[in-house]
Structure 1
Amino acid sequence: MDTLKDEKKITAFLNKIKTEWPGKIERFEFKTTTVIYVHLKEGISSIDFLGSLSRKVERFVDFTIPIILYHIESDGMNLRSHPINWYSSFSK
């Protein structure tokens, strides 16, 4: 039951990211429930996006399971990983 709640919270988390950075995200793609590809729009650098995201993203996290976001540039050539909530299971 908690996993289902977390899955809904992760979807809300992704929607908050898309709202916070309008015009930068093309789409999200779930590879698994904890591995999510963030496809960036053309001309958006994955390293710049990761830098701006990492400074603000923690305030959006309200779920307990760890996830990994992979930021992918529109050409598919650059891929950067961003663990979120990675150490949350150790604090319980």
Structure 2
Amino acid sequence: MDTLKDEKKIKAFLNKIKSKWPGQIERFEFKTATVIYVYLKEGISSIDFLGSLSRKVEKLVDFTRPIILYHIEHNGMNFRSHPINWYSSLRS
């Protein structure tokens, strides 16, 4: 049951990211339940996006499952990984 709740919360979290950074995200793709690709629109740098997101993302997280976001630039060549809640089980 908690897994289903976390899945819904993760999707809501992704929608919050898309709304807080309008015009920067093309789409999300779930590779696994815990690995999510964030495809950035043309002209958006993965390193700049990661920098702006990392400063604010903790306020948006309301789930416990650790996930990894991969921010992928439009050309598919540059990407950055961004662990979320990766150490949450250690804090519990």
TM-score (norm 2): 0.99
In the alignment, which residue of structure 1 is the partner of 2:52? 52
Counterparts of 2:39 and 2:89, CA distance in 1:
27
- CA displacement, residues 59-91 of structure 1 (integer Å, 9 cap, x when unaligned): 000000100000000000001000001101112
- Offset of residue 6 of structure 1: 0.2
Structure 1 Cα separation of the partners of residues 68 and 20 of structure 2:
19
1: CA distance between counterparts of 2:21 and 2:70? 16
- What percentage of residue pairs aligned between the two structures are identical? 84
State the secondary structure of the residue aligned to 1:89: helix
Report deviation, 1:14: 0.1
The AA in structure 1 aligned to 2:68 is: I
Show the counterpart of 1:8.
Answer: 8
Residue 74 of structure 1: aligned partner: 74
* Divergent runs of 4+, >3 A: none
Give how far 1:50 is off.
0.3
RMSD: 0.4
- Equivalent AA in structure 2 for residue 30 of structure 1: F
**1:29 and 2:29 aligned:** yes
2:64 equivalent in structure 1: 64
Q: Following the alignment from structure 1 to structure 2, what is the Cα–Cα distance between the partners of residues 91 and 55?
A: 20
Instruction: Name structure 2 gaps, 5 residues minimum.
Output: none
Amino acid at match of 1:5: K
Structure 1 gap segments, 5+ residues each: none
Give the whole-Å Cα distance in 2 for the aligned partners of 1:16 and 1:65: 17
Separation (CA, whole Å) in 2 of partners of 1:18 and 1:85 = 19
